[in-house]
Structure 1
Amino acid sequence: MKKFQAQPGFQVQAFRLALDPNAFQEAALRSHCGAERAAYNWAVGWVTASWWQRKAEESYGVPADALTGWRPWSLPSLRKAFNEAKHTDPRFAGWWEENSKEAYSTGLANAAAAFDNYAKSKQGKRRGKRMGAPRFKSKRKARLACRFTTGTIRVDGDGRHVTLPRLGTIRTHEPTADLHARIQAGTARVLSATVRHERGRWLVSFQAEVKQHIRRVTRPGVAVGIDLGVKTLAVMADSTGENRTVANPGHYDAARKQLRRASRTVSRRQGPDRRTGRKPSKRWGKANDIRNRVHHRVANLREDALHKLTTAVAAEYGTIVVEELNVAGMLRNRRLARRIADAGFGEIRRQLAYKTRQRHATRLVAADRWYPSSKTCSGCGAVKAKLPLHVRTYECDACNLVIDRDDNAALNLAALAAACTTGTGVAGDQDTAPAASKPRGADRRTRATTRSRNATGGRAGGATLPHQRQQETRDRTQAEALTLW
């Protein structure tokens, strides 16, 4: 898909609205999303057909210069080939004209992006987990989504309807007055619209170019450290010494009893069986809808709670320090995976990233994944060699400080950026602190406590004092751990 670059003084922002289509419009929405999936599957089959053909020819001993040529997967090439094939291909004959061209263009663009990601991943040019070759989308599992970039894309003036290409005017569940007022004032321009079926509802997301409006934070000169956890969602400590605790709502745990009952009802109905081709009964469908509504409600409550938390934090502090957590690795812990997934650690950081950058132009500091925030004493800077997860109280061996483990970690995170905090909460002061490099292959082992080092290998005479060595260790650890996002 084409990425829009905002003009100077503008930024790209999404406005998501819930739709209220009638039966005819919902059928048209499903048809467009099905056309996107059909175009995607056609592109995957068209490109990979040349791969299998070359492999078969190689098995017969055909020389390399005589093999079938590779079919390109760039978006212009796929569009050209699809426009030639849609008139003769039996998979599209008789119905492809019922949908907007944007539906097929969305599927082709997604296929081109999938092949690009696969090629870059295979060549080592793409970060993250290794990606496999694109596969066909299942009609039963594929997400329903379609994007419109051309045609009539309009937010109607009555504040309750939107107009999309070929779909016409559709009523919305919520008012559109905010976006319409910005468009009329000339401070917003709609670039594209994406419809999708998510959590039992049809949603439309307008990607608009909006004039920047930086909001000044409440305390621009204060840095806050946020330590995320399972029992307590967030422990926040700022540079002024003020602590705050946010309890974990635990929406999924609260709904587990209701989910057990709903799932038990579903299991007693006649469900689908792909092995025998048995179709689900109507009672199974009704029971499954009830169970899905419970899941949707939990997801909506979680999203609402996280948005309220991140919005309040981003609007108050000039500098926010969070940890770079390995959430994917943490989910492998079978004892804590459910609670970690329910807390939404990755979503908290994602929301803080765009809210601090776009709304307030403040600083978000990400502590290195190996920074020992929990093992470091917030009073003297001594670092413990080991601190098991079940130990919830930090006891310093050097200064005899006794403090809650999460409070200690939050204070260390706040101190990580307090020394270099000069922002005032306006756009011109962001990214003022230098970013320390993270060299690969560095020793990630936690340093031993200063007291134990003095007992084993301390120098006499002109050696530095213990508190000086502790301060040097603390400064060195902070310099290695501090990275700006």
Structure 2
Amino acid sequence: MARFATFRFCLDPTGEQEIMLRRHAGAARFGFNQCLRLVKDAVDGMRRGETVGKVPWSGFDLINAFNRWKRSGEAGRVMVAAGDGTVTVQVTGLSWRGEVCQQVFEEAVVDLGRGLSAYTASRTGGRRGRRVGFPRFKSKRHAPLSFRIRNRTSATGRASIRVGEQAPRTVTLPGIGVLKVRQDTRRLRRMLAKGRAKVVSATVSHRAGRWSVSLTCEAADLHDARRHQPMTSAGWVGVDRGLSTFVAAARADGTPVLRVDGWPRPARTEMARQRRLARDVTRKQRGSRNRAKAAARLGRHHAHTAAVRHRFLHQVCNRLVNTHDRLAIETLTISGMLANRRLAAAVADAAWGELARLLTYKQQWRGGQLALVDRWYPSTKTCSACRTVGPAMPLHQRMFTCQTCGYQADRDHNAAVNLAIWAEQHHAQVRDLPAGGPVTNTRRGEGTGPRTRAGETSPDDAGTAPTPPGVRRGRPRRALSHHSTKW
């Protein structure tokens, strides 16, 4: 088992099964909110100077805290009156906890632990990107319905999550039963029967009026016939992303590979219908059933737009990955482009970031290579024939003309050729897909000494040299305990 794959199926539940699904989703929301309440109460008590012990922060500690709470009197108790008139308090705990699968509570609590860890790492500098805030309570009205169940195997070898047990298009979940699905499960059933896949967990969610189940599987590598073979003569293929031409791919010698001009533009195409549906929502009275129905219609429209975009991105990525083992794309600053009010809608509709993500894992599955070109590389205004860097080109200028050699070509094709040339010149900095970072020639030897070859990193440069006694390397990091966290 070397990779993770997700199979998503649309569910077709009965009325009783939909009640069970909503009950499990509500239990997941309840477990998340209750554990968050326990964390906040412990922190508030610590601020007031009370003795609260250890604040539950990790997923393991939160699970233990929730298990203690659900059996205590705070979760539930009843007053029992005897025949002699005496009244006693009987602790029942969370009385309805047996009506749902217990894994729903555990997985929701684990998600809260991840949120708390991300919050701590963001405040201490251990997490890059935008600052992560403290977790908030999930609303019963606005939070999406979703829960997750792990796959467990009994002593007899029977899995709790089964596919195609009673009928080909069915999925069996613990605590819920056999659910019908609308898609064909043949591919997954064959992989499970041959031992090439193992179901890890199942995530059930409700989006745009539909229930769906996502089965996360630990699958084996693709067959050798589906993986890329070493092709040293073909060379690199540069992939240029744009708005007029969605994708232009070409080799370093100028050979065109792929060009996608008429992309669907789902958001712009359906904008008139979206505005009409949005007006219908605003014209309805708040809190009324008609407003809820109008909002549901608008949600289904957004889901349809996203599905059209996602299907198109998969088609383009498959055409590139299935035929080429070495691709080069440029790292675009998409968040900066979205700040341009003239191009923000078109850039968001193109979903360039999602395209790069799909290319990354699809190339990894097939054993290919993906080069990330520096975003400051002037691929558009550089002549692919004489390598002369010209002035900046406005967006309306679709033809590139070199002022030095007179070379003329489509600007997207010229940029794709330059990306392929950059990848051939910097093939040592190709991204290592399994490791998630660039390949570096770092020497990990013991002790200090001169470099053995030109261009090789010494232990001093890499930071692997032994530290002299009494000397501290790097910036000291302030320890942050769970009790000293402030927000």
Do both share a fold (TM > 0.5)?
yes
Structure 1 residue 351: deviation in Å?
Answer: 0.5
Correspondence 1:407 to 2:404:
no
Q: Secondary structure at the match of 1:357?
A: helix
What's 2:204 paired with? Answer: 195
State the alpha-carbon separation in 2 of the partners of residues 114 and 343 from structure 1: 30
What's 2:156 paired with? Answer: none
Q: Is contact 2:60-2:110 (8 Å) kept?
A: no
Q: Is contact 1:102-1:150 (8 Å) kept?
A: no
What's 1:124 paired with? Answer: 125
Correspondence 1:290 to 2:263:
no
1:314 to 301, 318, 321: 321
Q: Is contact 1:155-1:162 (8 Å) kept?
A: yes
Counterpart residue type for residue 82 of structure 1:
F
1:393 to 385, 389, 399: 399
Q: Which structure 2 residues correspond to residues 467-482 of structure 1 after superposition, within 5 A?
A: none
CA RMSD after TM alignment: 2.8
What's 1:149 paired with? Answer: 150
What's 2:192 paired with? Answer: 183
Counterpart residue type for residue 186 of structure 1:
G
Q: Is contact 1:146-1:194 (8 Å) kept?
A: yes
State the alpha-carbon separation in 2 of the partners of residues 168 and 291 from structure 1: 32
What's 1:241 paired with? Answer: 254
**Larger helix fraction of residues:** 1
Deviates more, 1:197-206 or 1:386-395: 386-395
State the alpha-carbon separation in 1 of the partners of residues 292 and 136 from structure 2: 28
Structure 1 residue 401: deviation in Å?
Answer: 2.6
State the alpha-carbon separation in 2 of the partners of residues 387 and 228 from structure 1: 16
TM-score, structure 1 as length reference: 0.77
How many residue pairs match? The answer is 407
Q: Secondary structure at the match of 2:264?
A: coil
Counterpart residue type for residue 217 of structure 2:
A
Change (3 A) 1:434 1:218: closer
Structure 1 residue 159: deviation in Å?
Answer: 1.0
- Counting aligned pairs with the same residue, the percent is 35
Cα offsets for 1:108-141 (capped at 9, x unmatched): 0001001111111111011111111111122223
Cα offsets for 1:1-55 (capped at 9, x unmatched): xxxxx4xxx4222211111111211121121112111111122221122322333
Structure 1 residue 403: deviation in Å?
Answer: 2.8
Q: Is contact 1:378-1:408 (8 Å) kept?
A: yes
Q: Is contact 2:56-2:65 (8 Å) kept?
A: no
Q: Is contact 1:51-1:70 (8 Å) kept?
A: no
Change (3 A) 1:435 1:318: farther
What's 1:103 paired with? Answer: 104
Q: Which structure 2 residues correspond to residues 78-477 of structure 1 after superposition, within 5 A?
A: 78-87=62-71, 88-90=73-75, 93-151=94-152, 152-157=160-165, 158-213=167-222, 214=224, 215-217=226-228, 220=231, 221-243=234-256, 244-247=258-261, 248-270=263-285, 272=286, 279-281=287-289, 283-358=290-365, 360-384=366-390, 386-419=392-425
Q: Is contact 1:217-1:314 (8 Å) kept?
A: no
Structure 1 residue 172: deviation in Å?
Answer: 0.5
Change (3 A) 1:361 1:394: same
The unaligned stretches of length 5 or more in structure 1 are 1-5, 58-65, 273-278, 438-485
Q: Secondary structure at the match of 2:370?
A: strand
Structure 1 residue 353: deviation in Å?
Answer: 0.7
Counterpart residue type for residue 144 of structure 1:
L
Deviates more, 1:237-246 or 1:120-129: 237-246
State the alpha-carbon separation in 2 of the partners of residues 436 and 411 from structure 1: 27
State the alpha-carbon separation in 2 of the partners of residues 436 and 323 from structure 1: 23
TM-score, structure 2 as length reference: 0.77
State the alpha-carbon separation in 2 of the partners of residues 329 and 41 from structure 1: 35
Counterpart residue type for residue 103 of structure 2:
E
Structure 1 residue 388: deviation in Å?
Answer: 4.0
Change (3 A) 1:420 1:77: closer
State the alpha-carbon separation in 2 of the partners of residues 136 and 286 from structure 1: 25
Cα offsets for 1:242-289 (capped at 9, x unmatched): 22321231111111122222223333332x2xxxxxx213x3333333
Deviates more, 1:182-191 or 1:161-170: 182-191
Q: Secondary structure at the match of 1:370?
A: coil
Q: Is contact 1:226-1:235 (8 Å) kept?
A: yes
What's 2:473 paired with? Answer: none
